[in-house]
Amino acid sequence: MIKSRKHAQSRFNQHMSAALAAMLLPVAAHAVAAADEQAQAPQTLSEVKVQGAAEDTFKADRAVSAKYTEKLVDTAQTITVIKKELIEQQGAVSLTEALRNTPGVGAFFLGENGNTNTGDAIFMRGFDTSGSIYVDGVRDVGSITRDIFNIEQIDVLKGPAGTDNGRSAPTGSINLVSKRPQLEDAYLGSVTAGSGKQKRVTADVNQMINADSGSAFRLNALVQDSGNAARDVVENKRWAVAPSLAFGLNGPTRLYLNYLHVKQDNIPDGGVLTIGLPGYTAPVTAAMTAEQRAALNAALNSAPRVDPKNFYGSEKDHDNVTADQFTARVEHDFANGVKLQNTTRYGKNKQDYLLTAFMATSANLIVTGTPDTWTMARTTLTYKDQTNKVLTNQTNVTAEFGTGAVKHTLVAGLEFITEKQTNYTLATTPGTTITRTSIYNPNPSTPQTFTYARTGAQAVGSTDTQAVYLFDTAKFGDWIINGGLRLDHFSTTYDSVAIQGTATPQTIPVGTRIATNLKVGDTLVNGKLSALYKLTPESSVYALAASSKAPPGGTNFSLSANANSAANPNYDPQETTNYEFGGKWDLLKQKLSLSAAVYRTTVKNEVEQDATSGTYFQTGEKRNQGVELGVTGEITRGWLVSAGYTRMSAKVTNGRAVAADGEVYLAYTPKQSFTSWTSYTLPFGLTVGGGVRFNDQLRRGTDGAVGTPSHIDSYWVADAMASYPLNKHIDLRLNVYNLTDKEYVAAINKSGYRYTPGQPRSGSLTANIKF
């Protein structure tokens, strides 16, 4: 094992060196040539003004947030901006797919026990970030798989975001920027067909209503009915519509009205058995006899790998989501340079989810005879009947002024948020039959008899937040100093009703309603301070310190009276501090951006049990430190590139191990990650492109499971693209994924019984239409 790791490390370093050399050598050569041309150019030229459409490029100048007033090169924090041009070239359709363009971010965690994560279960720098997803700067809640048909760009903020957003994940946040109406007439659409029965149609219609009043209408729509190239039975079926109106686009006062409706009718993926994967052994237990252990070892230790397409659930499984979101935004530019932005949003989404769950424990397996006769008990039906609601009003005021030689940009804001989550308890009726299924030839059509309904038990969690924040960016000479402070007063209530299901204890009759009422409230104070020095007008170095806090119940609105739960209202908020040092450089006439950063993130107040007394204390501490590199933009005319690399050391610095192999490293955190994409447009219009991605070995969590893999292996994946304009209205794009048909594990559950296979070699053909 040690030898193979060294060889894998050597191969990675060779691949990395070649990839970086291929990208950076042309950059250096072009920079030298540009410098020579500039030296020979005349010193005096007459002014020429040229108007034209902006070129499509992967590089963004700014993050779209009222709280970030400077260009990215002058912003002292790691921020990755993923533009729609990059997303479209890759044929990405979901948030998870788009986030492959930033290293160390992904859906690595499949779920716990028989449960499977739903929606965008994103991990970033070692921590769950699925509760820190925003749309146009406003928190977006609910277990929904976000489609990006109505998204202009994605801003990924790495490092604590408590000063920007209030309670949030320890390692960052994700903001999706919606498409807006424009003062032009444009009619765009796309039709896609591909592997896995993929069928997808989108439309993007922008119509100017009145040029004098600056009013316009835009409609984005989507219909998709697709399978999954990696899996049998799994379906991704949805439709969505997003109309928006804008008024006053050419004036000082602008009004935007947006509505989003999404309907998903999916068949969820419960994963594949890990039997046959590296690290799998028979799940023998101490309670088994020697003969039983020997028989199980003989059958399973050399068992072949199951087909990664196998579906172990039922055709009755479903994941139905309905989401509605209405947003009104008013912007006003005052005569003295002060800008006002007010956003009001109401959102609601409802999820009806059923999954036939399985865990391949020794008690659930029958492995006598030949493998084609082996069967497994599907243990239970897992449900989710959940509704999320959010009502938000956010006001930002931006002002610029001077105090002597110092120029200030001040951002002040107020935010009022009411969030509510309701979970209804479901149960099957007596006589329910959950059939066994074959391990190597499962049949999702095997008859199952069950009905389910709400029992009357439910849990309602709600959080009310009132926040005030202030940011000041001070410029003097070559220095930019930024400071921010945010106060969040929150109140979380959790009311649950359980139904006593057995006669134990005897004093509580069956059917008795048992109510639980828990509350927690506090004021969170977060801040950040950075200093940035301009080496040149196009480059900078900086230092940053920032904090973040996550109170009990801050992610899922659920409080607990259990002493071992961080959601216990008696505990203090989880506290995060982050220190970052980095540099940024725009070159080639600001068309190409380079960035580098080193950071250390420390998370305190983790709940741990004292080994002697058995009492729980908030003494646990976790730390992630590392380096991240990035390059984005245009190398030469028509040659675009986007690439990133990160190396992380994520550890438990105080407390018990959380990884299954007993090491102190955090689970679901690849030590190294690399992502890249490049494309080149030939003179006759053909665009060719492609990229490679690397994810290092990934440890799973620990829950005492026996015999399952403790980690998943590292992997490289290569994708390619070619597009060609048939005429001025239609162009075709071919995407091929996983060119080498690499078999790899994309995610694994906490027990290690189940995994999500990576996408096999597959493809799609898209016709893009514009008028």
Q: Is the pTM of this model over 0.75?
A: yes
Helix (H), strand (E) counts: the chain: 5, 38
Alpha-carbon gap, residue 721 to 734, rounded angstroms: 6
Angstrom distances, CA of residue 196 to CA of 199, 231, 310, 605 = 9, 8, 14, 45
Give the confidence band of 35 by pLDDT, cuts at 50, 70, 90. Answer: very low
**pLDDT per residue as tens digits for the range 377-413:** 887 888 899 999 999 999 999 999 999 999 999 999 9
Alpha-carbon gap, residue 430 to 658, rounded angstroms: 38
Give the confidence band of 149 by pLDDT, cuts at 50, 70, 90. Answer: very high
Q: Is the pLDDT of residue 449 over 80?
A: no
- Backbone φ and ψ for 219, nearest 5 degrees, come out as -130, 120
Task: Please give the residue that has the higher pLDDT: either 704 or 634.
Answer: 634
Tell me, what's the pLDDT at 430? 64
DSSP state, 363? G
Q: Is the pLDDT of residue 31 over 50?
A: no
Q: Is the pLDDT of residue 32 over 90?
A: no
Mean pLDDT of the 414-424 span? 96
Tell me, what's the pLDDT at 86? 97
Tell me, what's the pLDDT at 119? 85
Amino acid, single-letter form, for residue 296 = L
Q: How many residues are there in the chain?
A: 771
Task: Please give the residue that has the higher pLDDT: either 290 or 55.
Answer: 290
3-state SS, residue 269: coil
Tell me, what's the pLDDT at 526? 96
Q: Is the pLDDT of residue 66 over 70?
A: yes
Lowest mean pLDDT across 282-286, 586-590, 740-744: 282-286
Mean pLDDT of the 497-524 span? 80
Are 415 and 165 in contact, with CB atoms under 8 Å apart? Answer: no
- Backbone φ and ψ for 538, nearest 5 degrees, come out as -110, 10
Tell me, what's the pLDDT at 84? 95
Tell me, what's the pLDDT at 505? 58
> Mind spelling out the 3-state secondary structure of 695-749?
ECCEECECCCCCCCCCEECCEEEEEEEEEEECCCCEEEEEEEECCCCCCCEEEEC
Tell me, what's the pLDDT at 146? 94
Give the confidence band of 25 by pLDDT, cuts at 50, 70, 90. Answer: very low
DSSP state, 142? S
Mean pLDDT of the 147-160 span? 94
Q: Is the pLDDT of residue 649 over 80?
A: yes
**pLDDT per residue as tens digits for the range 674-712:** 999 999 999 999 999 999 999 999 999 888 888 899 999
The rounded percent of the chain whose pLDDT value lies above 70 is 91
Give the confidence band of 663 by pLDDT, cuts at 50, 70, 90. Answer: confident
Alpha-carbon gap, residue 571 to 559, rounded angstroms: 11
Task: Please give the residue that has the higher pLDDT: either 727 or 501.
Answer: 727
Lowest mean pLDDT across 48-62, 200-214, 605-619: 48-62
Which residues, other chains included, contact 472 with Cβ-Cβ below 8 Å and sequence gap of 6+?
408, 409, 410, 411, 482, 483, 484
Q: Mean of the per-residue pLDDT values for the chain? A: 89
Are 488 and 166 in contact, with CB atoms under 8 Å apart? Answer: yes
Task: Please give the residue that has the higher pLDDT: either 168 or 188.
Answer: 188
Q: Is the pLDDT of residue 3 over 60?
A: no
Tell me, what's the pLDDT at 179? 97
Alpha-carbon gap, residue 184 to 671, rounded angstroms: 47
DSSP state, 314? -
Q: Is the pLDDT of residue 448 over 80?
A: no
**pLDDT per residue as tens digits for the range 756-766:** 999 999 999 99
Which residues, other chains included, contact 482 with Cβ-Cβ below 8 Å and sequence gap of 6+?
76, 471, 472, 473, 474, 528, 529, 530, 532
Task: Please give the residue that has the higher pLDDT: either 113 or 360.
Answer: 360
Alpha-carbon gap, residue 485 to 251, rounded angstroms: 32
Are 166 and 415 in contact, with CB atoms under 8 Å apart? Answer: yes
| Token pair in block for residue 278 | 């590296």
| Token pair in block for residue 139 | 């928190």
Tell me, what's the pLDDT at 723? 98
Alpha-carbon gap, residue 433 to 632, rounded angstroms: 55
Lowest mean pLDDT across 50-59, 400-409, 599-608, 702-711: 50-59
Lowest mean pLDDT across 181-190, 223-232, 496-505, 535-544: 496-505
Which residues, other chains included, contact 319 with Cβ-Cβ below 8 Å and sequence gap of 6+?
118, 264, 266, 267, 268, 351, 352, 353, 354, 355
Alpha-carbon gap, residue 189 to 555, rounded angstroms: 37
Tell me, what's the pLDDT at 502? 64
* Residue 424, beta-bridge partner list: 385, 458
Burial environment of residue 565 by CB neighbours within 10 A (0 to 12, 13 to 18, 19 or more): middle
Tell me, what's the pLDDT at 4? 41
**pLDDT per residue as tens digits for the range 530-564:** 999 999 999 999 999 999 999 999 888 999 999 99
Tell me, what's the pLDDT at 114? 73
**pLDDT per residue as tens digits for the range 200-254:** 999 999 999 999 999 999 999 999 999 999 999 999 999 999 999 999 999 999 9
Alpha-carbon gap, residue 367 to 373, rounded angstroms: 8
E strands within 76-124? 79-83, 105-106, 123-124
Contacts from 553-556 at CB under 8 Å and sequence distance 24+? 553/461, 553/463, 553/492, 553/494, 553/520, 554/131, 554/167, 554/463, 554/490, 554/492, 555/128, 555/130, 555/131, 555/169, 556/131, 556/421, 556/461
Alpha-carbon gap, residue 697 to 5, rounded angstroms: 10
Alpha-carbon gap, residue 29 to 25, rounded angstroms: 6
Tell me, what's the pLDDT at 547? 95
